[in-house]
């Protein structure tokens, strides 16, 4: 499905949040309507990873070609996870269905489908939990809120667990901190046990496993891409930036999502990193083996997170670097911040990160040894180490979209804002219910940012778009900033549909525009190749 096939926004949003269906939710099977679901994983990708039940199938088929004992596999998998994850166990037990989470989900606000209320998304699996794992559920059946795991229930899981972006917004509002991301992650793990997964997740996973990045770019291809960006930088600034690759003995390994090598507007951010590091004379290196900061394992299973993430520490060790610097990415930082060191640490072969430019010790990263680029850059700016001319960004009227994971899984709120305010003169916040810890998903996180799912994406994007349009109307905002590679791709579709006059971009793109580099030529264009001032338009 394509964006232009969608109805106009006002028609798309002809929904009612307060009118659930007549049929009770337990008896209302999922309908796989075009534009609202993702295509299943190709068998070859599952084979490459050694994952169960590789085959070709479609959600609209009657027969999903499941193993004969699929129920047994799922229930056994549930039991195992109830004994391994307190989060899952507790979140199955303690929900009181108060409904505080109901209208906190972007997919519910955009679709009105009650099964997109976080509480009901969790009840899809909780009903089976009660039926098979609790005393009252076993005794009372439906009266006890239990529901048998039938094929319709399984299909419903597939539909709705791949209609959650694991953004954690609901968990901010839950009085017990119940986190639907946890429920969805376990739900997807269970689905994976019988070969139910989507290609937009599994292809990047399979690629990342073998090639080191989601896009499946081999090392010689990466060099081409990076050199191409370096050439563009030379055209714009007259400076040939150094481009260290797989360099042993470098001080810092730099890891960023591969989305930034590949397509606009991510490439501008990537050029921004190169220019910043060059100007600083940073002793760093790119890696082709660990050429992916993102981790679609997060959208597959805990085991897959670990399998993909292992490359980062392994490469840091092989290259003998002191510490690791990470680029602008959302879910990457969920993994780096909350999983990496527990899964693949301790990284005792690395040193506690210290900025070679300012001498600042990044004590908050002393165990993981990985620093976020906005922590690094804001420290540079605070210490006056960068020569910046924010007026070069004067054509940009910016607002900032907090990516879900840096906001709600790491507390990275002020660092990006500090950087932004120092490199651009026009910056306006969106309304407070839609930023910081209350930020809304772009609508395409957790592997859902594919084309076939476009209707559901645009529905999920609606709360963010609505907030964006608020500042567009009030302040003529024309740039939606974010520090996430998925955002840079998905928000571009969002603005195309909901706010056509707004461009999307990363923070370090603007940093590099503003950065006065030693020996640079008189800059006339920004990183996008567009004129810096209004001179040309005046002609």
Partner 1 sequence: MNALFSLVSALIAVVALVVVSWFGVEAIGLDSVFGVIIPYIALAIFVIGVVYRIVDWARVPVPFRIPTTCGQGKSLPWIKADNLDCPYNTWGVIGRMFLEVFLFRSLFRNSKAELREGPRVTYASAKWLWLFGILFHYSFLIIIVRHLRLFMEPIPSFVQTITSVDGFFQIMVPTFFITDILFLAAVTLLFLRRVTLPQLRYISLPADYFALFLILGIGISGVLMRNFFKVDLLGVKSLAMGLFTLHPVAPPGIHPIFYVHLFLVSVLIAYFPFSKLMHAGGVFLSPTRNMANVNRSERYVNPWNYPVKVHTYEEYEDDFREKMKEVGIPVDKE
Residues 283-312 that bind partner 1 (CB under 8 A): 288-289, 302-303, 306-307, 310-311
Q: Does 271 bind partner 1 (CB under 8 A)?
A: no
CB of 165 to partner 1, least distance (A): 15
Among 55, 318, 385, 475, binds partner 1 (CB under 8 A): 318
Which residues, 137 to 166, sit near partner 1 by CB under 8 A? Answer: 142-145
Q: Which of 295, 274, 162 shows the shortest CA–CA distance to 228? A: 274
What gap in Å lies between CA 286 and CA 246, rounded to an integer? Answer: 6
**Smaller CB distance to partner 1: residue 124 or 503?**
124
How many residues in the shown chain lie near partner 1 by CB under 8 A? 123
Six token digits for residue 437: 């810890």
Contact criterion met (CB below 8 Å) for 214 and 295? no
User: Which range binds partner 1 by CB under 8 A, 231-239, 376-384, 448-456, 482-490?
Assistant: 376-384
Sole binder of partner 1 in the list 32, 133, 176, 428 (CB under 8 A): 176
Nearer to partner 1, 43 or 141 (CB): 141
Per CB under 8 A, 90 contacts partner 1: yes
What would the x/- binding string for partner 1 be over residues 247 to 266, using CB under 8 A?
Answer: xx------------------
Told to check if 439 binds partner 1 by CB under 8 A, we report no
Give the nearer residue to partner 1 in terms of CB position, either 26 or 525.
26
By CB under 8 A, residue 20 contacts partner 1: yes
Q: Which helix (H) or strand (E) holds 252?
A: strand 252-255
Helix 180-193 and helix 151-161, axial crossing angle in degrees, nearest 10: 130
- Which one of 36-44, 82-90, 187-195, 441-449 is the stretch in contact with partner 1 (CB under 8 A)? 82-90
Tokens of 495: 């603005």
Evaluate whether 169 touches 158 at the Cβ level (below 8 Å): no
* Residue 314 interacting with partner 1 (CB under 8 A): yes
CB of 36 to partner 1, least distance (A): 18
Helix (H, G, I), strand (E, B) or coil at 226: helix
Judge whether 82 and 89 are in contact, CB under 8 Å.
yes
> For partner 1, what does the binding mask look like between residues 396 and 415, x meaning CB under 8 A?
-----------xxxxxxxxx
User: Could you say which residues in the range 476-515 bind partner 1, by CB under 8 A?
Assistant: none
The angle formed by the CA atoms of residues 488, 385 and 337, to the nearest 5 degrees, is 45
What's CA 513's distance to the chain center, in Å? 25
Long-range contacts of the stretch 303-310 (C-beta < 8 A, 24+): 304/49, 304/205, 305/335, 305/339, 305/343, 306/339, 306/343, 306/344, 307/209, 308/205, 308/208, 308/209, 309/335, 309/339, 309/340, 309/343, 309/344, 310/343, 310/344
Determine which residue in the list 462, 477, 503, 515 makes contact with partner 1, applying CB under 8 A: 462
Beta carbons of 41 and 304 less than 8 angstroms apart = no
Position 231 contacts partner 1 (CB under 8 A): no
From 58-66, 84-92, 196-204, 506-514, give the range in contact with partner 1 by CB under 8 A: 84-92
Give the nearer residue to partner 1 in terms of CB position, either 369 or 488: 369
| Cβ at position 285, least distance to partner 1 in Å | 10
CB atoms within 10 A of CB 207: 20
**Does residue 171 bind partner 1 (CB under 8 A)?**
yes
With tokens 């529901």, the residue in question is 147
């Amino acid at each position: 499905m394509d964006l232009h096939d969608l109805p106009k926004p006002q028609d798309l949003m002809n929904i009612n949040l307060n009118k659930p269906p007549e049929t009770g939710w337990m008896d209302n099977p999922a309908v796989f309507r075009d534009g609202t679901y993702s295509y299943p994983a190709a068998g070859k990708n599952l084979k490459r990873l050694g994952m169960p039940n590789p085959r070709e199938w479609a959600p609209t088929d009657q027969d999903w070609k499941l193993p004969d004992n699929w129920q047994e596999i799922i229930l056994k998998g549930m039991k195992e996870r109830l004994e391994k994850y307190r989060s899952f166990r507790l979140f199955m037990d303690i929900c009181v269905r108060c409904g505080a989470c109901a209208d906190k989900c972007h997919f519910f606000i955009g679709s009105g489908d009650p099964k997109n209320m976080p509480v009901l998304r969790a009840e899809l699996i909780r009903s089976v939990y009660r039926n098979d794992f609790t005393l009252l559920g076993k005794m009372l059946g439906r009266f006890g809120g239990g529901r048998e795991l039938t094929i319709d229930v399984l299909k419903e899981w597939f539909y709705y667990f791949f209609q959650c972006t694991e953004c954690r917004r609901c968990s901010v509002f839950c009085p017990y901190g119940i986190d639907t991301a946890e429920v969805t992650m376990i739900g997807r793990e269970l689905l994976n046990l019988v070969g139910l997964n989507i290609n937009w997740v599994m292809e990047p996973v399979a690629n990342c496993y073998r090639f080191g990045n989601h896009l499946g770019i081999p090392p010689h291809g990466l060099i081409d891409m990076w050199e191409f960006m370096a050439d563009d930088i030379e055209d714009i600034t007259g400076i040939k930036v150094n481009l260290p690759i797989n360099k042993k003995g470098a001080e810092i390994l730099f890891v960023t999502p591969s989305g930034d090598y590949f397509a606009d507007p991510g490439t501008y951010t990537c050029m921004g990193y190169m220019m910043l590091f060059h100007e600083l004379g940073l002793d760093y290196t790119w890696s082709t083996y660990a050429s992916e900061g993102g981790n679609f394992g997060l959208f597959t299973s805990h085991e897959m997170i670990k399998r993909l993430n292992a490359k980062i520490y392994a490469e840091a060790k092989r290259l003998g670097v002191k510490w690791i610097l990470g680029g602008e990415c959302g879910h990457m930082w969920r993994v780096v911040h909350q999983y990496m060191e527990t899964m693949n640490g301790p990284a005792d072969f690395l040193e506690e990160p210290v900025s070679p430019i300012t001498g600042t010790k990044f004590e908050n990263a002393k165990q993981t040894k990985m620093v976020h680029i906005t922590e690094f850059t804001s420290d540079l700016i605070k210490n006056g180490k960068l020569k910046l001319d924010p007026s070069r960004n004067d054509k940009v009227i910016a607002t900032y979209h907090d990516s879900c994971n840096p906001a709600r899984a790491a507390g990275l709120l002020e660092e990006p804002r500090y950087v932004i305010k120092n490199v651009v003169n026009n910056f306006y916040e969106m309304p407070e219910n839609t930023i910081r810890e209350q930020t809304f998903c772009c609508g395409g996180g957790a592997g859902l940012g594919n084309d076939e799912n476009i209707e559901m994406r645009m529905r999920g994007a609606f709360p963010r778009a609505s907030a964006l349009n608020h500042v567009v109307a009030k302040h003529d905002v024309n740039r939606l900033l974010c520090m996430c590679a998925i955002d840079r791709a998905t928000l571009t579709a969002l603005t195309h549909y909901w706010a056509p006059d707004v461009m999307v971009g990363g923070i370090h793109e603007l940093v590099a525009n503003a950065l006065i580099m030693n020996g640079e030529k008189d800059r006339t264009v920004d990183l996008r190749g567009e004129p810096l001032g209004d001179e040309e338009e005046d002609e």
